[in-house]
Structure 1
Amino acid sequence: MSAAAAGPRLSDRQRRAWLRLIRTPNVGPATFRDLINRYGSAENAIAMLPELTLAGGAMRRIRIPSVDEAEAEMEAADRLGCRFVCLGEPDYPPILKAVDHPPPVLAMKGNADVFRLPGVSIVGSRNASLAGIKLARNFAAELGREGYSIISGLARGIDTAAHQGALATGTVAVLAGGLDMPYPPENIELFEEIAARGAVVSEMPFGWQPRAQDFPRRNRIVAGLGLGLLVVEAAKRSGSLISARLAAEMGRLVFAVPGSPLDPRAGGTNGLLKDGAILTTEPADIMQALAPLAGAERSLPHTLEEPPDFAATPPPGDDDRTRVIEALGPVPVGVDEIIRHTGLHPAQVFMVLLELDLAGRLERHAGANVSLLFPD
């Protein structure tokens, strides 16, 4: 692997502020980006959070993690040989910067050099067949020998086999919980082996037990770290199909191994093939399709993108907020549509959406679409 890239790194104070901001309720990657772009730093954004949530109609005061809490999480990471890597820093995975709303902060254990290799994500059934396990392991091993890293989610079955096949050449495990909560428990030894030879990452806090709703977030990172994603075995309702959908939305190539129509573990993969996934029976199918991408120079952003010029227009007033809220409903609509409909300056619309988001009243969807959340 190549040496880690050079570049600016955050100070401990900045890193602590980033951690406090992303751990604040209702602050996801998109909101984090908007706050940093609007206020210039995480510290400034934190100072504005109470005012913004009040303007958005929050019913209770927002709870911002304290400096002591952020320091405690950083110390917990250090004790376990982990560290926090922030968007724009040299150890942050380069390809992940290019996805919409990348995680601002990743907890990482291992060697960031593995992210300099072109990646292939491999996912599939937890209840995999022996043939599927052998196939995933062999695919990972051969792709690894050809210079690819293998990304997966450390789950039972196909994920485990993919990691095992690429241990010697470079593999990345993405967790749905904190790095101190490897799941499933029987893969703790594999977790340590991956960290010793590749890397393990998570966007979740230390001490976080993975929940069902956390796995799609994990799957998004798995898909985002690869140039393409291979589904080996997947039933029709498999979470691997979520990974495939996310990969396609990111512009990644989706590969699928065909299976017998009599095997329910092939229902999802055969469905992907009907929908246009690349038929895959050997690693050469993947390498041939990815070769132009793996060899090309990729122009990737190193910082958060330029926001609308908030300083060039007055802040939104109460009437402006009402117009934006009236344009919203339970059905997702595009932000550009809201701007056209209301006639407001884009910066004013972005500000109202930011306030609603922090107040827990906004839901963000793919394709820069948003909808209004209504209280139960």
Structure 2
Amino acid sequence: MAESGSDCANLPEEERLAWLRLARSENVGPVTFTKLLARFGTASRALEHLPQLSRNGGSARAPRICTPETATRELEAAHRLGCRIICRCEPQYPAALRAADGAPPVLTVKGSDAALAKPFVAIVGSRNASAVGTRIARTLAADIGRSGYGIVSGLARGIDAAAHEAALETGTIAVMAGGLDRPYPPQNIPLLDEICASESGAAVSEMPLGWEPRARDFPRRNRIIAGIALGLVVVEAAKKSGSLISARLAGELGRLVFAVPGSPLDPRARGTNDLIKDGAILTTEAEDVLTALAPMSGKPARAQGELFAVEAQEIAREDLTGPTTAERSQVTEALGPAPVAIDEIVRHTGLLPAQIYVVLLELDLAGRLARHPGGLVSLLPGSAR
């Protein structure tokens, strides 16, 4: 199933249901979803092969696969709430996010499709924002918005809320950590309603309706914020802050990172000042952001992630009969608790990359594989055979 921007098309309802089922099935994260699609061509065919792949990977039980009834109920619930589910291969899906490593296969959206079509700048920062920080966020969001960009943020208190409010007329997206019917924090529900009612606003989430946000869901949300945007601006951030996680994720995705300097005496500026020391673009006005982003105007944020794209291509080349039992053992024995590069596994085993990638896919689905930055992999503790 092609997912490049030029080949996007709306899915038939049967395949949309299959995409939702596959995305909601056990051990199928965004990266694994992409590899399954590369191997089998459609989500429907991938669902048929999940049990065998999981057994090949060493799982002692059948994987929990989302049923057609469960997926249908989710689609119907979304419709009742005025939401819709869009898939990564469809034209409504944000283009820059589609090009990002690990982009969610499906998004639940409430609001305007037109809002998703803009190029975006993310503005994030402290929940406990200062009056000055809030004013800076508003000014940046309004000026950047008037220049044709949408503003994306996480609907948190402080800087996030200020950025959304300033961009209500020009376009803004709120990315949620939980289901769209479980907004957080509750005091920003009126703001969320304003965003979704606007002709140029929308709320999105990769989580199913009814999902209560947990602490671990916020970094996932932050990755979506960074992926939707061409650049990410941090206005205020303490030394240990979720906004710094967003900045790191933006850098990993090849996005430009901007930081507003602050007083060395204000702990809310310590994180942003450190970002500038580490190479973030010093930002005092919207023009700093617009000038840096100008060469990217009209261009995708970057090609589909190099590591994942190579892996998907190799998986597609491997015969559907897959590796032999002996070849699977070779790969598993080459793995351990310490992260290792896939090139090292190739050299150690002498197997073709395509064979190794398929075994890694099987281990993924069996819940036995851990993936690390830079394409490194390891066996999860207690999963060795």
* TM superposition score category, shorter chain reference: over 0.9
1:293 to 296, 305, 308: 296
The residue identity in structure 2 corresponding to 1:41 is T
Over aligned residues, Cα RMSD in angstroms? 1.9
- Equivalents in 2 of 1:87, 1:350: separation in Å? 22
Question: Which piece of structure 1 moves more, 56-65 or 352-361?
Answer: 56-65
Q: How many residues align?
A: 370
Which residue of structure 1 lines up, in the alignment, with residue 3 of structure 2? none
Instruction: Indicate the SS of the match to 1:367.
Output: helix
Can you list the C-alpha shifts for 1:100-139, whole angstroms capped at 9, x where unaligned?
1211111111112223322110011111111111111111
Matched, 1:95 2:101: no
- 1:284 Cα deviation after fit: 1.1
Partner of 2:226: 223
How many Å separate the matches in 2 of 1:360 and 1:28?
11
Q: 1:190-209 to 2 correspondence within 5 Å? A: 190-197=191-198, 198-209=201-212
Matches within 5 A, 1:54-93: 54-93=55-94
Give the equivalent residue in structure 2 for 1:119.
120
* 1:246 Cα deviation from its structure 2 partner: 0.8
Describe the superposition over 1:271-303 as per-residue Cα deviations: whole angstroms up to 9, x where unpaired.
Answer: 1011011111111111111111124477866xx
Match of 1:173 in 2: 174
Matched, 1:320 2:330: no
Return the offset for 1:330. Answer: 2.3
With over 3 angstroms needed to count, the CA separation of the structure-2 counterparts of 1:142 and 1:71, relative to structure 1, is same
1:313–1:347 CA contact under 8 A, matched in 2 = no
Secondary structure of the corresponding residue to residue 374 of structure 2: coil
Show the counterpart of 1:260.
Answer: 263
Q: Does 1:251 align with 2:254?
A: yes
Distance (whole Å) between structure 1 residues aligned to residue 302 and residue 235 of structure 2: 31
Hey, what does 1:213 align to over in structure 2? 216
Q: Distance in 1 between matches of 2:59 and 2:150?
A: 44
2:121 aligned counterpart, secondary structure = strand
Structure 1 residue corresponding to 2:370, chosen from 359, 363, 371: 363
CA contact (8 A) 2:19 2:43 kept: yes
CA distance in 2, matches of 1:310, 1:237: 44
Q: 1:313 to 1:8 in 2, by over 3 A?
A: closer
- Counterpart of 1:332 in structure 2 is 339
Q: Deviations over 1:221-244 (max 9, x none)?
A: 100111110000001110111110
**Does the aligned pair in 2 maintain the 1:95–1:300 contact within 8 Å?**
no
TM-score (norm 2): 0.92
Which residue in 2 is equivalent to 1:346?
A: 353
- Evaluate the alpha carbon distance shift between residue 75 and residue 253 of structure 1 in structure 2; reply closer, same or farther with a 3 A threshold: same
Report if the CA contact (8 A) 1:334-1:368 is conserved.
Answer: yes
CA change 1:355–1:318 in 2 (3 A) is same
Q: Is the 8 A contact 1:118 1:149 kept in 2?
A: yes
Shift of 1:266: 0.9
Q: 1:256 and 1:299 mapped to 2: Cα distance?
A: 22
Does the CA contact (< 8 Å) of 2:95 and 2:300 recur in 1? no
CA contact (8 A) 1:254 1:278 kept: yes
Q: Secondary structure at the residue paired with 1:333?
A: coil
Q: Is the 8 A contact 1:313 1:345 kept in 2?
A: no
- Go from structure 1 to structure 2 and tell me whether the alpha carbon gap of 1:273 and 1:298 turns closer, same or farther (over 3 Å shift): closer
Q: CA deviation at 1:371?
A: 1.7
Distance, in Å, in 2 between the alignment partners of 1:194 and 1:358 is 38
- 1:179-217 CA-partner distances (Å, limit 9, x unpaired): 111111111111111112211111111110011111111
Find runs of 4+ consecutive structure 1 residues off by over 6 angstroms. none
- 2:379 counterpart residue number: 372
